[in-house]
Amino acid sequence: MTWKRTALVASLASAALTFGACGFGGSDGDTSVAPAPKDPNAAASGTLRIFAYGDTVPDEMLDPFREANPDVDLKIATFDSNKSAAAKLAGGFESDVVEVCTDEMEPLLVRGLLRPLDPEGVKDFDKLAFHDSPDIRNEGGQVLFAPASAGPHGLIVNTDEVTESVDSYQALFDPRYADNVALEATPLTAIAVTALAQGLDDPMNLTPEQVDETEQYLLDNRDQFRAFAESDSSMVNLFKSGEVVLADGGRGTTQAMIDDGVPVEWVAPKEGALSWVCGLAITSKAQNIPAAYKLINYYASPEAQAISAKLGFVAMNPDALPLVPAKYQQTADPKNLAEAIPETQPDDSEAYDRAWQEVLAE
């Protein structure tokens, strides 16, 4: 993912959202709870329109669903961020199912683009990781999406070069590794891991003073960082070339390095790993609710979660683990998410963005 390009598109998409809110293409959809099908085993039919991240809807994930539901005609469109998705939906684009993530769903929520789910309509809902998290619910406690994928975000450590045991985000600021450390160039994770390194407890809801404090800490330690990786590819290249021996990052990125022979391991810091959480929601203009529930049930099933695990994600349904090949067991284990701090959109996300821009400008 090219985060710099995504950040630019997302920023301009935010402007587009503002324009779109000026009475044009605004939501006049239904924001009541989407009724679950009376008979969950009844066959679904018709056209089902999905709007999701590209890596959520590969053919290997959807082919079993197509085989099981031959009367459902899948139409797929992809996006690179929930902000650009919200801009497109607010502008009038319609889909039945949209993928949302806890750290990016605010633009969809405030524009009434989502329709709450009935958890009774999702068979394995209570088994899914984060099913009881308030972050997947609206202010009224209604479930907005069924968690379908997640990825813990911790530390990536080159075990050949970093011989001491590392278990804290504070290692990123250890002078012994100066100029050999990288951070992911996303405002939320960069500010959050720095806040955790400083001992702040709630990295997703920092006060303005805490954001300023974190920004200053990053500026004071700017020389610690060799690079701010703008994509998974960049991070992998930094480790492979030996420029970086320590960074924050996810298990999937770590696995890509291990597969290529780079001696690294992923560590869950004692302050708590962060975790992005994404899932499938029904849009307020959905036209095929029964097929939407069929798809959401499929993604929550052990079979689909096992496929998701092979794609590098955590299996949200623990019943999927026996179906996951040994190579992916460690990455897929939902225990990775135990004690994880879900990445959510801060109330003052602009403060995080501003602080990060100041650091980048240095």
Partner 1 sequence: MPGARPVAPEGPRRDVPLSYRVRLRMPAVASVCLTAFVLLVLFGPVLMLALFSFNDSSIISLPWEGFTTHWYEEASSDNQAHDAVLNSLLVASIVTVGSLLLGTLAAWGLTRLRFPGRGFVAGLHGSVLVVPWLIIGVAGLIFFSELGVTLSLQTIGLMHLVVTFPLVVAIISAGLVRFSRSLEEAAIDLGASQLQLMRYVVLPHIAPSLAAAGIFAFAWSFNNFEISFFLGGFEQTFPVWVFSILRQSENLPLVNAVSTVIALAQVVAVVGAWRLMKRLTRNRGGDSALTELVTGGVR
Residues that bind partner 1 (CB under 8 A): 1-2, 5, 9, 12-13, 16, 19-20, 24-25, 49, 53-55, 58-59, 75-80, 84, 87-88, 91-93, 231-233, 236-237, 240-241, 252-253, 256-257, 259-260, 312
The continuous run of DSSP H or E covering 167 comes out as none
Beta-carbon neighbour count of residue 102 at 10 Å?
Answer: 26
Which lies closer to partner 1 via its Cβ, residue 223 or residue 260? 260
Smallest gap from Cβ 202 to partner 1, in A, equals 28
Which lies closer to partner 1 via its Cβ, residue 240 or residue 335? 240
What tokens does 339 get? 């004690």
Cα distance between residue 33 and residue 354, in whole Å: 36
Smallest gap from Cβ 208 to partner 1, in A, equals 30
Smallest gap from Cβ 81 to partner 1, in A, equals 10
Strands 181-184 and 225-229: parallel
Which lies closer to partner 1 via its Cβ, residue 72 or residue 218? 72
Smallest gap from Cβ 187 to partner 1, in A, equals 18
SS3 340: coil
Question: Looking at 159-233, which runs of residues are DSSP E strands?
Answer: 181-184, 225-229
Which lies closer to partner 1 via its Cβ, residue 30 or residue 80? 80
Cα distance between residue 52 and residue 73, in whole Å: 16
Per-residue HEC secondary structure of 14-81 comes to HHHHHHHCCCCCCCCCCCCCCCCCCCCCCCCCEEEEEEEEHHHCCHHHHHHHHHHCCCEEEEEEEECC
Orientation of helix 349-361 relative to helix 208-220, angle to 10°: 20
Which lies closer to partner 1 via its Cβ, residue 22 or residue 361? 22
**Which DSSP category does 94 fall into?**
-
The Cα diameter of the chain in Å comes to 62
The residue type at 244: V
Cα distance between residue 247 and residue 182, in whole Å: 5
Which lies closer to partner 1 via its Cβ, residue 88 or residue 251? 88
∠ CA(139), CA(351), CA(354), 5° rounding? 145
